[in-house]
Structure 1
């Protein structure tokens, strides 16, 4: 159209004809520019697994203008039906092969259970897709280290959701510590106890609570210390006489001498009339302290240093998936992996230590307290809950629950 306008311009008479031809020329340029600007430059992604975590990612990506959710895949008919209702603009499929074979898809999000993850990661690499994965990155430690090797021997960008690293409060506290405000880092204490996922509710491939959830705290403690664990001693409780400990407390040291204790369990008032939780971070230096508590809505950080005392209250931020997605989008667009993205190796290390600490509980007295009848009451209650902690796939009112 532009070339046509130019030819008319040169063959036109003077005056109005020349003016009109110039108008056509400018108009054609505007049309070309508008066409170019309307090209979808968003990152094309396929979501595999539309359970609780898959919906978290869908929500974060939908709110962003950086992602084009081209596909949603799930083998469960109810999940696919939900996806059709929530995401009418996405192709809803049962077979993930369609996603991998679509050359226009740049990124795959792997949000199924851990037993299928290694095969999907292997396939993603084969088809040249960047990878966002849930943790753990495979169903056994042997397979997790295979995934690490695979992803470290490709130019594709990959990350895993170690969500605490992306939280504003942990980054604020770490920056404050690095400024020297609390002196030398000495003691890291982390506690996370809720009436969350009960035994037998579908996360068997992710392991008991201290691995499925606790590996996040194993990871963030190591992130603060800046080196690997050296010694540990773990105590567990087989609550409700379940076969695995659903509460674990582990303490020990890092290679640099920093002392830690981590407490995690989904045993906190499961049948109480009004449920509550206890979550905190308490980091002690030779001169000052930093600490954080939250109620899953607001996080409160207290920084008590030698030069300044600061209190910060901000929205908790949930699982910070929006931050992870933004960091990953930056990496894909620039072709350079953000240093803030957790790696598959980070995940494998956290997973391995979490399993190691769990195994250590069996080297000591491991009491069984309560009975399976109480556990059945807990499961029955959670089946029907609409407001609570870590709610089940089928009874989530909306995607806000911790």
Structure 2
């Protein structure tokens, strides 16, 4: 069997893209052969081209995005069969056997691979990014309710047990002590700039908060005299545009200054902004929870994008790692609770298992040390 680790993610949302790159980076840093594949490179071109249009639409209309998320979608109708055939030929030729899966869209392809190799055993970690399976998994369960029975399910955040089981390492630096952080709050709408974050900026400004705003488009960047800073991902970048998968190009954006978008090698640049903030104001996506835990930065929880994000928010609130925006507002925007939440996050991070380390140890055990 091949010892190469195949990490199966998606560019559809950064929460299913960035964690795959983080895992890949740390595996390679430990001398392990691995690669990341994203699902969008294996769907028909027409469907792929519609993703950019949907991103723009959902950025502008959050209720429509919520409605679209609840609509059933059989991903098998979008697959480019020729591309998948080439992929399966490669896997069979290289005798691939080790997979980490973060999007339910890949399960159909994995099942086809198992048929091709006569159901020989393969090692598959299903790594759930959210505290309950997100829509790509729920849609899958409608036509394949037993999709996980031959695979190993891992929840980073376990809603049923009300605990954090794993963390993903981001960079090599420890969390910044709370008192040493800048007196600023990061605010964003996830990789698609979705949700109600823009509606909160003026209210926060009126209450004297200095914000690090992750803008989705340049016309969202306002005069810096208000004390805010503005950042953006390169609007021209798409996760599936290149054979080389990189962390999202990112830059601070100022009026009348051409931004220089750059991508770090080992982690996403927006993490540097988040780890310096007193808290991050965001919808509770799985990627934001991963960042919050790694940086020990509390989350001020905005309206969730679907039920799975509501479960994320419930868990963060239950463990006193964040607070819902409405609750914080009712308190008069008090600040004294955030240091305690920061300390709680540090404890949770210290008690959680490093997923990459556990995976490597398991791999070494299974292959008797031959993992190069």
Q: Tell me the TM-score normalised to structure 2 length.
A: 0.28
- The one of the two structures with greater contact order (alpha-carbon pairs below 8 A, sep at least 6) is 2
Q: Tell me the TM-score normalised to structure 1 length.
A: 0.26
Which has a greater percent of strand?
1
